[in-house]
Structure 1
Amino acid sequence: MGAGLLEVTVDLGDRDYPILIGAGLIGASQTYERAPAGGTAVVVTNTTIAPLYATRVAETLQRRHARVLQVVLPDGEEHKNWVTLNTLFEALLSQACDRKTVLYALGGGVIGDMTGFAAACYMRGVPFVQIPTTLLAQVDSSVGGKTAINHPLGKNMIGAFYQPRLVVADLDVLDTLPDRELSAGLAEVIKYGPIADADFLAWIEANLDALLARDKAALAHAVKRSCEIKAWVVGQDERESGLRAILNFGHTFGHAIEAGLGYGEWLHGEAVGCGMVMASELSARLGLMPAGFVDRMRRLVERARLPVQGPAQLSAPRYLELMRIDKKAEAGAIRFVVIEDLGRAGVRTAPDELVADVIEAHTAA
């Protein structure tokens, strides 16, 4: 670990944990000094990441744990389900993993979510560490303790709030990230600007080309500021009873796209990018934001190489049907995160007819 190490703290009282951001972290023994020691370490990863980084992480953890195991799961959102989760449980049980076991989630959001959920459930709770290998996971899903699997009727509908002990965001692993996955991660970076920090939105617009070129200084700032905002929100509202809902800007529309197409057809960040354009349009049609804001968001999302038009095969009635199953719906009323002022978000309901008009205005012909 070099002098460029950055750190953000998620402040949850006696459950505080650090987010470490920098280059060359995953293979440095100092990185894991604040993770639980002893017992068994289980590196949970997928078929794509295992050949790249699993051995390096496992060898580093051997200095800290009595035994280090690896569990390699299939890659892809379509595998974020009960079958794959049970594969992980079977591996833990067959290797006689006990309550001193520490799970290390080495992968993107799917691995992080499933490993965290497994940690919450296995023997009623074992500690886990997040080692996110995608930009999306580094700036969003690895932070805050939301863990879940998908159900055919809805995304992330079965899960638990369960915080990691440590998050390790190694910027070097982004070098092997496919361009499409990098863009998907930028959707979650972009999100933080309109909901919480207008200056950060302007910074993203000015530095988007550097981010797409994987400039390490730009990535370090984007990851740090994103994590600072998320850590602050989670510290105020860990279980999403109020403020934390603003982190779902674009997600109500986006989750409907993912579920409607079948998980994995669009990447999560692609659906969120398109969903943010729709949510910006809804904000404008509710009279909260000027029309120019919609154009600004559309241009930025498009520059990030993300879709700005929803899939032609999903109708507005199908969106509404799927959104009523969303976790954010209450008594059948769909709740949308909207922008009330640049850098400030809120949660509102809207008439179905208005929502349908927004969807149709942003759906491919």
Structure 2
Amino acid sequence: MDNSRITTIEVGGERPYQVLVGRDLRSALPSLVARAAQAAVLYAPPLKEHAVRVADALRGAGIAPLPIELPDAEAGKTIEVAARCWDALGEAGFTRTDAVVGVGGGAVTDVAGFVAACWLRGVAVVQVPTSLLGMVDAAVGGKTGVNTGAGKNLVGAFHPPAGVLCDLSTLDSLPRADLVAGLAEVVKCGFIADPAILDLVEDDPDRHLPELVERAVRVKADVVSKDLRESGLREILNYGHTLGHAIEKRERYGWRHGHAISVGLVYAAALGRLAGRLDEATARRHRSVLDGLGLPVTYPAAAWPDLHAAMRVDKKARGARLRFVVLGGLARPEILEAPPDDLLRAAYEEVGTA
């Protein structure tokens, strides 16, 4: 890939913005927060060096940076951490024209967006995702939130960013396990909307990584442009997430998000096939693609009662009725409403292990 190439992806809707995909994008940051006198830079400890460079870019443009270090990963996605951020903004005298910048993986960008959405009922946020998961999922789309004891992302707000900078250079040092975990969301995009993604993953995901990021971002951008608030179409982005989020909750968020979603995708494929919606070959392809990446495709059979209970408080449920995104074929997502418990269990038996 040409290292100087920058791809711009437009996200439409009531508050349009751009996602830039390329390398060394920090110079684009100041223009996105041009009205700000100061900008909070939220980051987790492993990203301190990158956060310092982001702060330097702001300072060089005459914007005072306010670094705020968060606990790493899901430990930082709590209301207590958000409250600490709000205290820091208050002490710094943050106004409505100031901004928040999220530097890190999906957990950091989720919290940064939530902090920005709530402060003075909404200030600008710019997302600088540094993980593959953050680039293709968390940072794009305007969904922000924190976790509570009741479940993942149940407290949050829709707050589109002023812009997203997907700096591919940060992936060079990303731990392999985190890179592979992020590919689960990329694979999801392939199954729900862009089958070319699956071909690239099966060929060589490392060689095609820049194109995979661009394609996955385009899938999400297209969906959220049409449905910011998850009133209909956006639900398809939750393919594999109903069981995946239940696994994360059962594991007390000790599993990587992508690992849980990988199992959830295999489960959703089994559910779609058993419901008479999805053909056998496409269902099998879920397992082969994900297993080929080294992602988990099974989970303990004895966990089913816990997972079933957790799914009932999922955001996609409507009252007592569970809703699942399934496929009617490749790139043909559909909603399966209130499937019977015996069907849910039968599908789980295909991923459950002793």
- How high is the TM-score relative to the length of structure 2? 0.96
- Structure 2, unpaired ranges of 5+: none
Amino acid at match of 1:303: G
Q: Distance in 2 between matches of 1:99 and 1:313?
A: 50
Please say if 1:292 is aligned against 2:281.
yes
What are the within-5 Å matches in structure 2 for residues 213-292 of structure 1? 215=207, 218-263=208-253, 265-292=254-281
- Pairing 1:110-189 to 2, within 5 Å after superposition: 110-189=107-186
Paired residue type of 2:340: P
Q: 1:326 to 1:224 in 2, by over 3 A?
A: same
Structure 1 gaps, min length 5 = none
Partner residue in 1 for 2:13 = 12
Aligned to 1:89: 86
SS in 2 for 1:299: helix
Structure 2 Cα separation of the partners of residues 59 and 359 of structure 1: 50
Aligned partners of 1:256 and 1:319 also within 8 Å: yes
Give aligned-pair identity as a percent: 39
Instruction: Report the 3-state secondary structure (helix = DSSP H, G, I; strand = E; otherwise coil) of the residue aligned with 1:241.
Output: coil
Alignment of 1:174-213 (within 5 A): 174-208=171-205, 211=206
Alpha-carbon distance between aligned partners in 2 of 1:200 and 1:261, rounded to the nearest angstrom:
29
Provide runs of 4+ in structure 1 moved above 4 Å: none
Q: Which moved more, 1:91-100 or 1:29-38?
A: 29-38
**Aligned residue pairs: how many?**
352
| Residue identity matched to 2:266 | V
Any conservation in 2 of the 1:282–1:338 contact (CA below 8 Å)?
Answer: yes
The alignment's C-alpha RMSD in Å is 1.5
Looking at structure 2, the residues matched to 266 and 113 of structure 1 have their Cα atoms a distance apart, in angstroms, of 17
Residue 95 of structure 1 deviates from its aligned partner by 1.9
Query: Following the alignment from structure 1 to structure 2, what is the Cα–Cα distance between the partners of residues 271 and 317?
Result: 17
Counterpart mapping for 1:75-86 below 5 A: 75-86=72-83
Aligned-pair CA distance for 1:357: 1.6
User: CA offset at residue 303 of structure 1?
Assistant: 1.4
1:322 aligns with 2:307: no
Equivalence for 1:346: 334
SS in 2 for 1:120: helix
What displacement does 1:313 show? 5.4
Give deviations 1:145-187, integer Å, cap 9, x for gaps. 0001011121100000000001000001011211111111000
Aligned pair partner of 2:320 in 332, 348, 359: 332
